[in-house]
Amino acid sequence: MKGYFSQFILLISITFLVSCGSLQEKNSAYKASLNTNKPVNSAQIKQALYSQYNDWQGVRYQSGGLTRAGIDCSGFVHITFKSKLGLSLPRTSEMQARLGNEVKKDELRVGDLIFFRTGKISNHVGIYLEKNRFLHASQKKGVTISSLDNAYWKSSYWKSVRL
Q: Supply the pLDDT for residue 32.
A: 35
Could you state, in order of their start, the residue ranges of all structural domains in the chain? Answer: 2-22+39-162
Question: So which residues are the catalytic ones?
Answer: 73, 124, 136
In a structure prediction context, what are the per-residue pLDDT tens digits for the chain, which is 163 residues long? Answer: 555 544 544 444 433 334 444 333 333 222 333 444 444 689 999 999 999 999 999 999 999 999 999 999 999 999 999 999 999 999 999 999 999 999 999 999 999 999 999 988 889 999 999 999 999 999 999 999 999 999 999 999 999 999 9
pLDDT digits (tens, 9 = 90+) for 60-75: 999 999 999 999 999 9
Give the number of C-alpha atoms closer than 13 A to the C-alpha of residue 147, restricted to the C-beta side. 4
pLDDT reported for residue 7: 52
pLDDT per residue over 28-38, tens digit each?
Answer: 222 333 444 44
Determine the pLDDT at residue 120.
Answer: 84
2-22+39-162 folds as: endopeptidase fold (from Nostoc punctiforme) (3.90.1720)
C-beta contacts of 133-137 below 8 A and 24+ residues apart: 135/49, 135/52, 135/53, 135/80, 136/73, 136/76, 136/77, 137/20, 137/59, 137/61, 137/71, 137/72, 137/73, 137/75, 137/76
pLDDT at 18 (0 to 100):
42
Give the relative orientation of helices 73-85 and 42-56 as an angle to the nearest 10 degrees. 130
Q: What is the pLDDT of residue 121?
A: 81
